């Protein structure tokens, strides 16, 4: 990979690290937020889904204009909005304002992801997208390894507001580096202006795009029906020390970082569909274990949670690489915006479903978590079936 490609991948990864950290840091803060703001499980589920629903809605509208502009300008504008939204989260005085700030952040975050993945699809040929996607999506792991433990420690020492200011400080130098990027207008050569209704009609009429979006939605619900309530389950049911939660993300994040990169390489070498099927089948094991375990020692929690992070997160590397390859470059931005819409709305629906299914006992334990595990496993198997119908186009 040439130096300018390496710089681009590293910068896109840095964008994703800060953006992903802003999203995922809320979930391990669940125990503290529920306690400090006197929230119910339903209220916390709404807090998580507020971000994702906003990202989904604005991702839908973003599909109508993302392919019309220089990708660089899109990245700069959206990242500035993301930083402002994170500042608002840090200074929110109450639950209502925090929810509003999360909605604001989501409006920019969903579109930012769509542009990042579109850039990868535009710049890298299909035979190299798995590796590039694996490197960028390893940002989930980096966020877990560096950001979440530090964020949780800051929250433990100060308050839940501190992690958001930490994210802002990380984001400012990344924003400065964005201005070094050259213009990215190659996709405009084949772009044909189309009305919003025409764009929707074109997408709906393309069975491959519809199937791909359905596939993206069910694999997202499979993951986010479980993820938001992992830490409350560990603390409330398994009596895992709250002060040690950061180490779960540290260990799991390190392993997931290397796993994501390797899965990306395997996706290019052996085929994205084949690698997804294998990783998805393997992920059924930790999904079942992490949602049905009754008691476990500290080291066992580390083992199970690490396997869960590696395999459930690892599934998304071939998924996104496959999705960027199922549409031509001139339509990639709009399609990835629709995909971001579907993923974010699916994550929001999953969080709401989880919040209403789960019940909390007087001792803080969660009831019916195993039901969510079964739902996650069924959707994983359905996704495996659906992926056999998706074909690569570009």
When comparing pLDDT for 244 and 333, which is higher? 244
Residue 314 located in a structural domain: yes
Asked if residue 195 lies in contact with residue 63, where contact means CB atoms within 8 angstroms, the answer is no
d(CA 3, CA 394) in angstroms, rounded, equals: 24
Q: How confident is the model at residue 252 (pLDDT cuts 50, 70, 90)?
A: confident
Domain membership of residue 256 (yes or no) is yes
* Sequential DSSP letters for 106-172: HHHHHHHHHHHHHHHHHHS-GGGHHHHHHHHHTHHHHIIIIIHHHHHHHHHHS-TTHHHHHHHHHHH
pLDDT digit string, tens, across residues 282-340? 999 999 999 998 888 888 989 999 999 899 988 988 888 888 777 776 677 678 778 87
250: in domain: yes
Mind listing the pLDDT tens digit for each residue in 87-101? 999 898 888 889 999
The Cα–Cα gap between 11 and 108 comes to 18
- Quote the pLDDT of residue 336: 75
Q: What is the pLDDT of residue 81?
A: 92
Contact indicator for 199, 63 with CB cutoff of 8 Å: yes
Average pLDDT over residues 11-27: 81
% of the chain residues with pLDDT over 70:
87
> Based on the number of CB atoms within 10 Å of its own CB, is 175 exposed (0-12), middle (13-18) or buried (19 or more)?
middle
* Residue pLDDT, tens place only, 263-288: 888 988 888 899 999 999 999 999 99
| Full domain range(s) for residue 91 | 3-180+194-387
Q: Is residue 155 part of a domain?
A: yes
Candidates 272, 333, 347, 303; CA nearest to 122 is 333
pLDDT digits (tens, 9 = 90+) for 339-357: 877 887 787 788 778 878 8
CA distances from 383 to 224, 336, 345, 364, 386 (A): 14, 18, 17, 33, 5
pLDDT band at 143 (very low <50, low <70, confident <90, very high): low
The answer to pTM > 0.85 is: no
pLDDT digits (tens, 9 = 90+) for 362-390: 777 888 888 999 999 999 999 999 998 88
Digit-coded pLDDT (tens) for 152-210: 778 878 888 888 998 899 899 999 988 888 777 665 555 556 666 777 787 888 888 88
CATH code at 86?
1.20.1250.20
Q: How many domains does the chain have?
A: 1
Per-residue tokens: 67: 């392919």
Q: Does residue 394 sit within a domain?
A: no
- The lowest-confidence range among 32-36, 136-140, 172-176, 291-295 is 136-140
**Residue 186 included in any domain:** no
Give the pLDDT score at 393. 62
Q: Is residue 189 part of a domain?
A: no
Q: How far apart are CA 26 and CA 33, in angstroms?
A: 9
pLDDT for position 157:
81
Let me know if residue 381 belongs to a domain.
yes
């Amino acid at each position: 990979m040439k130096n300018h490609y390496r710089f681009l991948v590293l910068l896109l990864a840095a964008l994703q690290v800060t953006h992903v950290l802003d999203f995922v840091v809320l979930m391990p803060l669940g125990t503290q937020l529920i306690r400090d703001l006197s929230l119910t499980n339903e209220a916390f589920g709404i807090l998580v889904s507020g971000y994702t629903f906003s990202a989904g809605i604005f991702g839908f509208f973003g599909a109508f204009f993302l392919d019309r502009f220089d990708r660089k300008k899109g990245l700069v504008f959206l990242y500035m909005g993301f930083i402002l939204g994170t500042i608002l989260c840090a200074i929110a005085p109450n639950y209502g304002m925090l929810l509003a700030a999360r909605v604001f952040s989501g409006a920019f975050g969903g579109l930012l992801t769509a542009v990042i993945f579109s850039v990868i699809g535009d710049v890298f040929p299909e035979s190299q997208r798995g590796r590039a996607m694996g490197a960028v999506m390893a940002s989930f792991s980096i966020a877990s390894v560096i950001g979440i433990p530090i964020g949780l420690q800051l929250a433990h020492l100060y308050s839940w507001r501190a992690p958001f200011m930490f994210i802002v400080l990380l984001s400012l130098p990344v924003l400065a580096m964005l201005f070094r990027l050259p213009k990215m207008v190659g996709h405009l050569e084949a772009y044909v202006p189309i009305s919003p209704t025409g764009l929707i009609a074109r997408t709906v009429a393309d069975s491959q795009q519809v199937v791909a979006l359905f596939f993206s939605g069910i694999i997202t619900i499979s993951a986010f029906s479980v993820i938001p309530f992992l830490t409350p389950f560990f603390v409330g049911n398994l009596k895992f020390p709250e002060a040690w939660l950061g180490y779960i993300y540290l260990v799991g994040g390190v392993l997931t970082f290397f796993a994501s990169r390797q899965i990306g390489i395997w996706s290019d070498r052996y085929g994205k569909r084949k690698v997804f099927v294998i990783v998805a089948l393997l992920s059924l094991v930790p999904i079942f274990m992490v949602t049905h375990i009754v008691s476990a020692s500290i080291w066992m929690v580390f083992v199970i949670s690490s396997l869960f992070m590696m395999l459930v997160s690892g599934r998304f590397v071939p998924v996104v690489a496959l999705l960027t390859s199922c549409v031509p470059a001139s339509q990639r931005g709009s399609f990835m915006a629709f995909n971001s819409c579907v993923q974010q709305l699916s994550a929001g629906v999953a969080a709401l479903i989880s919040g209403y299914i789960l019940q909390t006992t007087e001792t803080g334990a969660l009831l019916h978590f195993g039901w969510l595990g079964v739902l996650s496993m069924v959707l994983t198997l359905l996704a495996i079936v659906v992926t056999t119908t998706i074909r690569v186009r570009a």
